[in-house]
Structure formats: C-alpha cells, structure tokens
Amino acid sequence: MKLFKIKDRHTWTFFVLPGTILLVLVLGFPAFQSILYSIYPEGGGSSYTLNNYSILFNDAVFRQVFGNTVFFVILSVVSHLLLGLGVALVLNREIFAKPVFRLIALLPWVVPDVVAGIIWRWMFDPVYGAFNDLLIKIGLISTHVQWLSNPKLALPSVVFVNLWRGFPFVMLILLAGLQSIPRVLYEAAAIDGASRWQLFSRITLPSLKKMLVVALALDIVWEVRRFGLIQAMTQGGPGNITEVLSTYVYKQYFQFFRFEYASAVAVVMTAALLIVSLPYIWMISQEE
C-alpha cells in the first residue's frame, strides 16, 4: 500500500485532472456524437434504430474484414515484440558502435506511415520495383514476385512493411526499461551461477513487465487503427484480402458517404478494442 501524508490526499487531482478535463472536453463530444450517429437510420432521419448494427453483423465482407484485422494485428504486434525485444537486448550490452546501431534501429519510425506505404509499394512493384531487383541480383529469387497482387503474399507483405515501420517503438521502450535495471542484480546472480536463460527469465522479464504491458497495449490499439500504411499499399485489395477495419471504415465514410453505418462500425471496433485491452488496463493499474 502506498503511504501518503494526510495533507497529500487530495493532490492527486492536481496531477490527474488537467489531462482528464482536456480529454473529456475535446474527445467526449465527438465520441458521443459518433455513438448517436450509429443509431440513426441510413440516410439520416430522426428516429433511432439498431438497423446499422444488424446490417453489420450480417455482412459477409464485414466478417472477413474483422478476421483480417485480427490476423493482421496479432502478426504485427507479435513480430514487433519479438524483433523489438531482440534488438533492445543486444543493444543493452556493451557493443562497439552502439549509438550508430541504436540510431539505425530507430530510423524507420521517422517515416510517416502513409509515406512508407507509398515508397514500399513502389519498391514491391513487379516490374519496376527495387525490392525484386535486389533479390534477383543477390540470387534469392529468379523471377519477379508479385508481392502485392498475389493473394497469398499480399497480407504477409503488408505485415513485413508494418514490422519495418513499427519495431522501433517497442525497441525503444524496452531499451529504456532495460537501461534502468541495475547491473548489480545481474552480477550478483552470475556469481551465484545463474545461466543466461535464468538471468533473462528471472531478472530481465519481470523488471520489464510494466513496460511490456504498456508497449503491448499501445501497439495493439495502434495496429487496429493502422490506416495510412495499408491504404497506400493496397487499398484493401486484391479482393478484400488486406481490408482491415480502419480502411473499411474510411471507405464507408469518405467514399460511400454512409456516415451512420460507418459510425456503427467504429463503435464495434472501439468496443472490441476495449474488451481486448481490459487485461492490460488491469495489469498496469496493479498497485505494487
């Protein structure tokens, strides 16, 4: 239990309220409006109806899109985690030219995801693409591969680019977390004869736990919202193979002008995210 002075009891408001007020003021209104929109009938009108939701759940495309999103998010988050953790662990040691490698590992995040999508799409081009060209020159493939138009390769290609763009985030958080694990802990355990794996699982992982939760929770939310990258690379195609909830909502709203339906999709999206992130919220609110 945390102790605090009697005088102190109410100062939590000073710390927490400014942010809360700002968020409620500015985000509360749009959020409320969106929920309201979603129970209007399509095309406007003043009566309320749950029709949009029933259309949603009966639409085969929506189900496919939902499945794609789950698939995409899991692959992205897991790959971010593995690569980010791996790089952070190596960078935590004393290595020659560490600052250089650290900078390089951060670079992909510097490119906005729309721009990254445009550039990688061009690199993946079957005839003009630099990527195919390079792979052929190295001898890894012999003919040009259709990364984005082959239905089997489209989603993996998008995940590949998303990994490139996204791992620096996890890496930097974990690195910052690793840096503040006191060296003495490792030294003492090593003296006691602990193996590398034991050092990792008994010291590193538990210390990183909080940071891992933060990184995972944020990454999951962000990857569900990942829009610009996918829109620029495939617009959800070929077919509906790379269509995810965020591109789907965008189309419904800005291309088909189905404002009410789009709001319903967004509400479902948010609700699903809330459910998925409950364990993370619970974990990070743990009192120590």
Partner 1 sequence: MEGYGFLILVSIYALLPFIWMLSTSLKTEAEAFRVPPTWIPIKATLSAYVSMWTKKHFAIYFLNSTIISLATAVLSTFFGALAGYGFSRYIFYGRKFLIGFFLATQMLPGVLLVGPYFKILSKFGLYDTRTGLVIAFLTICLPFSTWMMKGFIDRVPDALDQAALVDGCSRLGVFFRVVLPISAPGMVATIIFAFLLAWGDLLWVICLTSTESMVTVTLGIARTVGEFQIIWPMLMAGALMGGMPAIILYLLLQRLLVQGLTAGAVKE
Partner 2 sequence: MRFFKTSILVVLGLAVLIGFSTSVNAQEKVTLRFSDWHLAEAPWDKTLADAMVLFEQRNPNIKVALEPVSYKDKETKYTVETAAGKGPDIFHLHAFSLPMFFDKGFAKDLTPFIEKEGGAKFLEPWYPLCINMMKYKGKVHAMPGDYMSMVLIYNTELFKEAGLDPKKPPKTWDEFLECNKKLTKPPERWGVAVLGAKDPGFELRFSPFLWSFGGDYLTPDNKKSALDTPDAKEAFKYFIELYTKYKVMPPGVPTMNAQDVRTQVAHRKTAMEIGSGWSAPIINSINPELKAFDVLSAAPLPYKKKKVTTIWLSSWVMNPNTKHPKEAWDLMKFITSKEMELNWFVKDGVTSSRKDVSEEAPEIRNDKFASVIASQLPYGKVVPQIPQWPEIMEAFTTAVQEAFTEMKTPEKALADAHDRINGILARKK
Q: Does 152 bind partner 1 (CB under 8 A)?
A: no
The pair of structure tokens assigned to 255 is 């291309």
Give, as ranges, the residues between 149 and 208 that touch partner 2 (CB under 8 A). 149-151
Structure-token match 């829109």, residue found: 231
Closer by beta carbon to partner 1, 33 or else 54: 33
Helix ranges restricted to H, 180-256? 183-191, 196-198, 205-225, 228-233, 245-250
Tell me which of 38, 76, 146, 246 binds partner 2, using CB under 8 A: 146
Binding segment for partner 2 among 6-14, 180-188, 251-259, 275-283 (CB under 8 A)? Answer: 251-259
Kindly write out the interface string for residues 218-257 of this chain, putting x where it contacts partner 1 by CB under 8 A and - elsewhere.
Answer: x--xx-xx-xx----------------xx--xx--xx---
Residue owning tokens 């029709």: 51
C-alpha to C-alpha distance for 50 and 42, rounded to whole angstroms: 11
Q: By C-alpha distance, which of 114, 63, 54, 56 is closest to 240?
A: 63
- The packing angle between helices 205-225 and 151-179, to 10°, is 140
190 binds partner 1 (CB under 8 A): no
For 49, other C-beta atoms within 10 Å of its C-beta total: 14
181 forms part of the interface with partner 1 (CB under 8 A) = yes
Selection from partner 2, partner 1, none that 151 binds (CB < 5 to 8 A by kind) is: partner 2
Mark residues 11-40: x for contact with partner 1 by CB under 8 A, - for none: xx-xxx-xxx-xx--xx-xxx-xx------
Q: What interhelical angle do 205-225 and 60-91 show, nearest 10?
A: 140
Q: Residues 87-126 vs partner 2: string with x where CB under 8 A?
A: --------------------------------------xx
> Does residue 119 belong to the site contacting partner 1 (CB under 8 A)?
yes
Q: Helices in 139-199 by DSSP H: which ranges?
A: 151-179, 183-191, 196-198
Residue 36: which of partner 2, partner 1, none does it interact with, CB under 5 to 8 A by kind? none
Which range touches partner 1 (CB under 8 A), out of 40-48, 58-66, 169-177, 190-198? Answer: 169-177
Determine the number of helices (DSSP H) and then strands (DSSP E) in the chain.
Answer: 13, 0
Q: Choosing among partner 2, partner 1, none, which partner's interface includes residue 150 (Cβ < 5 to 8 Å by kind)? A: partner 2
| 8-state DSSP, 75 | H
Neighbours of 205 (CB within 10 A): 12
- Name the residues that contact partner 2, by CB under 8 A: 41-43, 55, 61, 125-128, 144, 146, 148-151, 234-240, 251, 254-258
